[in-house]
């Protein structure tokens, strides 16, 4: 067992965990933040995506004890039912889901994607690394490719992200 202190959605959370506990299980099983979903538990689906110090990661692939002092943002920390984050509101508006199981991960990933583009971080499909990256459909599809949706809501998810990015849908 080991102690770990995380800042989760702005609040200090002290936990005593088996050192083998993933960040995903710490959030879901120990902090009851069940918005973050466990799909594959193997880094293949993106359902468990959260932000750590502003960067998206698969929380099933990292141990909680590796995040001492880190700031974790989950879907519960982005907005509330009465005060949705713009990305949450856009997913509702564009019907960017069906069963909703992948949605928390999709939304956390989408928020981080727009920050990555704004920060000038290139992707595999960025043609010119010397110019500012754009929020094209190709860029968004590539950058969201780690978030699988078994319901196939991809086109509506793309519309939602495009709108938040300031583009036409």
Query: Which residues of this protein are in contact with ligand FES, per CB under 6 A?
Result: 38-41, 43-48, 58, 60, 97-103, 149-151, 153
Closer residue to ligand FES in complex, CB, 38/85: 38
**Closer to ligand FES by Cβ: residue 43 or 122:** 43
Q: Shortest gap between Cβ of 103 and ligand FES (angstroms)? A: 6
Helix, strand, or coil (residue 104): helix
| CA 100 vs CA 9, 35, 36, 134, 151: distances in Å | 21, 10, 11, 28, 9
Residue 10 to residue 130: CA distance in whole angstroms? 36
| Closest distance of CB 99 from ligand FES, Å | 3
Which structure tokens are listed for 82? 């009465």
Nearer to ligand FES, 78 or 149 (CB): 149
- 3-state secondary structure string across 49-90: EEEECCEEEEHHHCEHHHHCCCEEECHHHHCECCECCHHHHH
Helices of type H across the chain? 23-25, 75-78, 86-93, 103-118, 137-143, 154-164
Give whichever of 99 and 127 is closer to ligand FES, judged by the CB atom: 99
The nearer residue to ligand FES, 146 or 167, going by C-beta atoms, is 146
Closest distance to ligand FES from the beta carbon of 66 (Å): 15
Q: Minimum distance between the CB of residue 67 and ligand FES, rounded to whole angstroms?
A: 15
Smallest distance, ligand FES to C-beta of residue 31, A? 17
Cβ within 8 Å of residue 167, ≥6 positions away? 135
């Amino acid at each position: 067992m080991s102690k770990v202190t995380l800042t989760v959605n702005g609040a200090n959370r002290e936990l005593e965990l088996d050192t083998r506990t993933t960040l995903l299980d710490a959030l879901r099983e120990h902090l009851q933040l069940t918005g973050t979903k466990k799909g594959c538990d193997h880094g293949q689906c993106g359902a468990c995506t959260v932000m750590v110090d502003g960067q998206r990661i698969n929380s099933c692939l990292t141990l909680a004890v590796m995040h001492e002092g880190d700031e974790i943002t989950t879907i519960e920390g982005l907005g509330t039912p009465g005060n949705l984050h713009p990305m949450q509101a856009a997913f509702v508006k564009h019907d960017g889901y069906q069963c909703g199981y992948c949605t928390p991960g999709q939304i956390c990933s989408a928020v981080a994607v727009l920050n990555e583009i704004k920060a000038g971080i290139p992707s595999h499909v960025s043609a010119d690394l010397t110019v500012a990256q754009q929020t094209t459909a190709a860029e968004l599809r590539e950058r969201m490719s780690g978030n699988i949706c078994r319901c196939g809501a991809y086109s509506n998810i793309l519309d939602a992200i495009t709108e938040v990015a300031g583009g036409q849908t």
